[in-house]
Amino acid sequence: MAAQTDHQTVHPVDEVLPPTRMLAYGVQHVAAMYAGVVAPPLIVGEAIGLSPLNLTLLIGASLFTAGLATILQSLGVWKIGARLPFVNGVTFGSVAPILAIVAQQSGGNPLSVVYGSVLIAGLLAFVAAPYFSRLVRFFPPVVNGTVITLIGLSLMPVAIKWIAGQDSEAPDYAATGKIVVGALTFVLVLLLNRFLRGFWNRIALLIGLLGGTLLALPFGLVDTSTFGSAPVFNLPVPFELGAPSFSITATISICIVMLVAMMESTADMIALGEIVDRPADEKTIAAGLRADGAGSAISAVFGGFTCSAFAQNIGLVALTRVRSRYVVAAGGGVLVVLGLFPIAGAVVSLVPQPVLGGAALVLFGSVATSGVRTLSNCDLGDARNSLIVAGALGIGLIPVVAPEFYEGFPESLRTVLDSGISTGCIAALALNLLFHARKTETS
C-alpha cells in the first residue's frame, strides 16, 4: 500500500515519460499546431513582399521562437511559466494589426516598427502579469465551463477553413476532393481512438494525420514545392530581419493585441487546469502570463511576433489524456529544431490543410466537451446560471457565425470584438457579477 502511495505522489502533469514516447507525443503536438504557427508569417511576409529567402527566415523565426516560448511555458524558470502542458506560438490575432502597421509605413523596413511594438508589448505584459492574474477569482465553475465550451466552439471555423480553404473566391474552395479527404481523416481519427489501445491510442492523431496525408495523395493535395526553397540549416540571428524602431500608435495597437492574448491565455490556462486536474490558481496564471510576455519579447528579438496559447493543443491533451508537461516541452524542442532546420519543417508541411481540418474537428470538439463536462457540475436548474451561460455563449459566438458583424466599429475595438473567446469571457464575467453579486456579498 505504501509503495502504491509513493508511486502516486507524482502528478501526471509532472510525469517524465520514456524518451521515445515523449518525442512521439511531442511531434503530435507540433503537427496539431504547425499550420497555426506558419500562417501569420506567411500572410505578413506576402503582404510586405518579402523575397522567398526572407520569407523562409520569417517562418523559421516563428517556429524557433514558438519552441522557446513553449519550453519556457511548460518547464518554467523562476516565476515564469505555468508549468502545465501549455503550447505557445504566434497568435493569429496579431495579423490584422500588423498588416495595418505595415500599410502605414511609407519607407524603410516595416518589420522594424512591428518588432519594436511587439518588444514593448511583451515587456509590459510581463510586468502586468501578476495584476492581471487576479481575475482568476472571478472564474467560478459556471464561468469556467462557459469559457471552455466557447473556446472549442470558436475554433470550429478554423477547422472548416482548413478543409474548405481560406479564400471563398478561390476556384478550388470547398472542392469535393478537399471535403472527402477531411471527412476521411475525421472518421479515421475517431476509429483509431476507438480501437487502438495503450501507446498507439495516445498517438492516434499522429497516425490519423499520416494516414490522411496518404489518402490525400490521389487527390493532388500534397504539396512538395516547399522542399525547393527551404535551406537545410539557418541559425536565427537577433534582429536579422529588422532592428526595432518605435511608433506610439503601432505600440498601442500591439499592446491591445497583447491584452486580448492575455485574456485568452487566462481562459486557456483555466480550461487546461480543469482538463489535467490541476486547477490554475492566481500564481499559476501570473507565471503563465509572464511567459507570454517574455516569449513575445524574445520573439521580437529573433524575428517572430506576439506569442500566446494555442487552444487546439488543449484539445489534444483532452483527447489523448497525456497530461505530462514534459511532452509539450519535447514538442517545443521539435519546434526549435524545425526553426533551425527549415528542410525539416518542409516535411511537416506535407500534411495538407484538409487533413489537419478533419483531425481538428475532433480536437476542438474535445475542448467543447470538456466545457460541457464542467458545466454539468453547475446547477443549471438555477435560472441565473442558465442565463449566464446563454448570454455569454450568445455574445461569444457572434464573431464566430458572423465574422463581419463588427465591421463598422473602430479598428481598435475590433481587435477585442472579433475574438469570440474574449467577448464571451468578458460577457460571462460581467453576467456572473450581475447575477451573483448580492449572493457574494451576503456569503
Question: Measuring CA to CA, how many Å separate 238 from each of 234, 301, 302?
Answer: 13, 5, 5
Question: Measuring CA to CA, how many Å separate 67 from each of 151, 286, 308, 334?
Answer: 23, 20, 12, 7
Whether the CB-CB separation of 320 and 205 falls below 8 Å is answered with: yes
Predicted pLDDT at 7: 47
- The amino acid at 438: R
DSSP-assigned letters across all residues of 95-117: HHHHHHHHHH--SS-HHHHHHHH
CA distance 122 to 290: 9
Grade residue 5 by pLDDT with cuts at 50, 70 and 90: very low
Predicted pLDDT at 53: 74
User: Per the structure block, which three cell numbers stand in for 398?
Assistant: 457572434
- Say yes or no to pLDDT of 67 above 80: yes
Whether the CB-CB separation of 92 and 40 falls below 8 Å is answered with: yes
H-helix or E-strand spanning residue 337: helix 325-340
- Say yes or no to pLDDT of 414 above 60: yes
Q: Give me the percent of the chain exceeding a pLDDT of 70.
A: 95
Whether the CB-CB separation of 271 and 371 falls below 8 Å is answered with: yes
Question: Measuring CA to CA, how many Å separate 179 from each of 142, 236, 428?
Answer: 36, 38, 35
The DSSP call for residue 217 is: G
- Say yes or no to pLDDT of 400 above 90: no
Predicted pLDDT at 18: 94
The DSSP call for residue 77 is: B
**Helix, strand, or coil here: 231?**
coil
- Say yes or no to pLDDT of 363 above 90: no
CA distance 176 to 343: 31
CB burial class (10 A; 0-12, 13-18, 19+) of residue 189?
buried
Grade residue 368 by pLDDT with cuts at 50, 70 and 90: confident
Predicted pLDDT at 178: 95
Q: Which residue has the higher pLDDT, 219 or 351?
A: 219
CA distance 290 to 280: 14
Predicted pLDDT at 154: 85
Region of 243 on the Ramachandran plot (φ > 0 left; ψ -120 to 50 alpha; else beta): beta
At 72-117, the pLDDT tens digits run 999 999 999 999 999 998 887 778 788 878 877 766 788 899 999 9
At 145-164, the pLDDT tens digits run 898 888 888 888 888 988 99
Range with the lowest mean pLDDT among 3-7, 221-225, 347-351?
A: 3-7
DSSP-assigned letters across all residues of 45-110: HHHHT--HHHHHHHHHHHHHHHHHHHHHHHH-BTTB---SS--EEE-GGGHHHHHHHHHH--SS-H
CA distance 418 to 397: 10
CA distance 350 to 372: 34
Dihedral, 230, 233, 237, 239 alpha carbons, nearest 10: 0
Grade residue 439 by pLDDT with cuts at 50, 70 and 90: low
Please give the backbone phi and psi of residue 89, each rounded to the nearest 5 degrees, phi first. Answer: -170, -175
- Say yes or no to pLDDT of 192 above 90: yes
Outline where DSSP puts E strands in 110-177: none
Mean pLDDT of 306-316: 86
The DSSP call for residue 335 is: H
Centre a 10 Å sphere on the Cβ of residue 168 and count the other Cβ atoms it contains.
Answer: 9
